[in-house]
Amino acid sequence: MKNHILLTLSLLLILGQFAHSEQSTQVDFIVDKLQKKYEGINDFHADFVQEAEVRALNKTQKAFGEVWFKKPGKMRWNYYSPTKDTIVSDGKILWYYIEGENQVLESNLKDLNDGDTSSTTLLSGLGKIKELFKVKLINDPALQNKTGYLLELIPIDIDEDEIKNKIIINVNKSDSLVSTIYLFDPFGNQTKISLIKTQTNKKISDKIFNFKPPKGAEIVRLPSPK
């Protein structure tokens, strides 16, 4: 999907073994806090800024909007600039409206979840992070900030050598909320999604996850993968 991804150090032997043991303990601590946090979140809302780097064009495409999530499986991404694209799921069906083409792509959410994890589904699964992902604590000066931990997420049923896309999240040290998602594709492009002013457990109405195609929009129902 355009603008959406609908998402992939070595030391001396003795020092490396010590660092691995220490990091494993730290990763478990961070992941446990993250999982506990999201297990206790039934819904949340945030503003977001998305910066998509396109290396082939030597440019960065910037967009912003709002996002809502609600268990189980409900979400809505409203893009306000540069185009008014929308992603909505009621927990069963996912709709992706592309304003520039006046087209709606429709698919079963379970079919999307069977594929690569993307920003659209990632945040719904953080309450089960140990079941869904292998997690690494990483240090990347280009992404790191002093107020958060960087975690690389690898779907648990995929070998690291087979990963086509890489996902990194920044977890706030203060409240264990995800503040930034980094998505990397096989071509070296990076998409950064920053979540701002996150509010949790605000009893978001189910109506926000209803979707009505704009007048005259073409509906394209995507086939289920075989």
Query: For residue 76, what is the enclosing H or E element?
Result: strand 74-81
The answer to the question of residue 128 being in a domain is: yes
pLDDT at 222 over 80: yes
The one-character DSSP state at 127 is G
Q: Which residues contact residue 125 at a Cβ distance below 8 angstroms, ignoring those fewer than 6 apart? A: 117, 132, 133
pLDDT at 2 over 60: no
Among 26-30, 164-168, 217-221, name the one with the lowest average pLDDT.
Answer: 164-168
Q: Which residues contact residue 49 at a Cβ distance below 8 angstroms, ignoring those fewer than 6 apart? A: 62, 63, 64, 193, 194, 196
The answer to the question of residue 26 being in a domain is: yes
Residue 163 pLDDT class (50, 70, 90 cuts): low
The answer to the question of residue 7 being in a domain is: no
pTM above 0.85, yes or no: no
The CA distance from 37 to 176, in Å, is 7
In this predicted structure, what is the pLDDT of residue 226? 58
The one-letter code for the residue type at 148 is: G
Max distance between CA atoms of the chain, in angstroms, equals: 66
| Average pLDDT over the chain, rounded to an integer | 78
Highest mean pLDDT among 13-17, 31-35, 109-113, 125-129: 31-35
- Find the Cα–Cα–Cα–Cα dihedral 164, 89, 63, 141, rounded to 10°: -40
User: Which among 84, 117, 88, 115 has a CA at the least distance from the CA of 208?
Assistant: 88
Q: Which residues contact residue 223 at a Cβ distance below 8 angstroms, ignoring those fewer than 6 apart? A: none
The answer to the question of residue 213 being in a domain is: yes
The CA distance from 69 to 123, in Å, is 8
Per the structure, how many domains does the chain have?
A: 1
The answer to the question of residue 3 being in a domain is: no
The answer to the question of residue 96 being in a domain is: yes
Domain that holds residue 36: 13-221
The answer to the question of residue 103 being in a domain is: yes
- CATH number for 94: 2.50.20.10
Peptide bond into 82 cis (omega under 30): yes
Residues 185-220 as b/e (b if ≥16 CB within 10 A, e otherwise) read: beeebbbbbbbeebebeeebeeebbebeeeeeeeee
The CA distance from 168 to 66, in Å, is 21
The answer to the question of residue 196 being in a domain is: yes
